Amino acid sequence: MSAGPIATPPGPWRPDPVRQQRADYTIEDLFKLPDDAPRVELVDGVIQVAPSPTLGHQDIALLLARWLLQHTPDHLRVTQAVGVALTLTTSRQPDVLLRRAGVSTDRSLLLPADVVLAVEVVSPATRRTDRFTKPTEYAAAGIPFYWRIEQDPVHVYAYRLGGRRGPSGERQYELAAESAELIALDEPFEIKLPVAELIG
């Protein structure tokens, strides 16, 4: 019996179950996904299909992106639905992010050094990941700022990379501001964000 590749059954694309079990997918494999592949993230070598966002989630992400577009200085750009290669075997797609303006626009995957701010809007299906897993991964990759936006009611938590180290020596975020009314920050640029502007 030969150990050739497993034939993909007809129908929508899905990850190879053998490779999933071995957790041996890498960032390079993301560039080879077919056009009909769903939105995915790569977590420790395993491809995870991202759950479909709710309308409330999308409203907040779009309203934040619009606000940032109107207020972000020229050296930064607002981006959505683009992945960030955190390690060789992990990539995430923040709901909204700020990237450096000099990054080539033909890229479909960013490096942590390209990203200034990663934002996640918390939904019931992503609650644990957005509150615990992603900030740990973003901080370990050196992304300077992370925002978590809770829904019902809308509340923004803004973090910056601090000097504190975790148990394994990785850097951690520290809370810079949190509010359901106004987020006022000096970094990554001077921000006075009325939280009401994120409520559609």
Tens digit of pLDDT for each residue in 31-85? 999 988 889 999 999 999 988 899 999 999 999 999 999 999 999 999 998 999 9
Task: Say whether pLDDT at 198 is over 50.
Answer: yes
Interatomic CA distance for residues 182 and 197, integer angstroms: 10
Cα separations in angstroms, 155 against 83, 158, 182, 195: 25, 10, 9, 7
- Is 0.85 topped by the overall pTM? yes
pLDDT at 8: 53
Whether residues 76 and 149 fall in one domain: yes
pLDDT at 48: 95
In a domain, 185, yes or no: yes
Whether residues 82 and 123 fall in one domain: yes
Kindly state the DSSP code that residue 167 receives in the 8-state scheme: T
Task: Say whether pLDDT at 1 is over 50.
Answer: no
Task: Say whether pLDDT at 114 is over 70.
Answer: yes
Task: Say whether pLDDT at 6 is over 90.
Answer: no
In a domain, 6, yes or no: no
User: Which carries the bigger pLDDT value, residue 87 or residue 4?
Assistant: 87
Whether residues 157 and 130 fall in one domain: yes
The CATH number of residue 145's host domain is 3.90.1570.10
Whether residues 28 and 92 fall in one domain: no
In a domain, 3, yes or no: no
Radius of gyration of the chain (CA): 18
How many structural domains does the chain have? 2
Final residue of a domain: which of 34, 49, 64? 49
pLDDT at 9: 56
Whether residues 97 and 169 fall in one domain: yes
Whether residues 94 and 179 fall in one domain: yes
pLDDT band at 20 (very low <50, low <70, confident <90, very high): very high
Whether residues 44 and 113 fall in one domain: no
Q: Which helix (H) or strand (E) holds 140?
A: helix 134-141
In a domain, 93, yes or no: yes
Whether residues 40 and 136 fall in one domain: no
Domain that holds residue 137: 55-198
- Closest by Cα among 97, 95, 67 to 183: 67
Whether residues 90 and 164 fall in one domain: yes
Do residues 111 and 83 lie in contact, with contact meaning Cβ atoms separated by under 8 Å? Answer: no
Whether residues 84 and 129 fall in one domain: yes
Strand-pair partners of 117:
98, 145
Task: Say whether pLDDT at 3 is over 80.
Answer: no
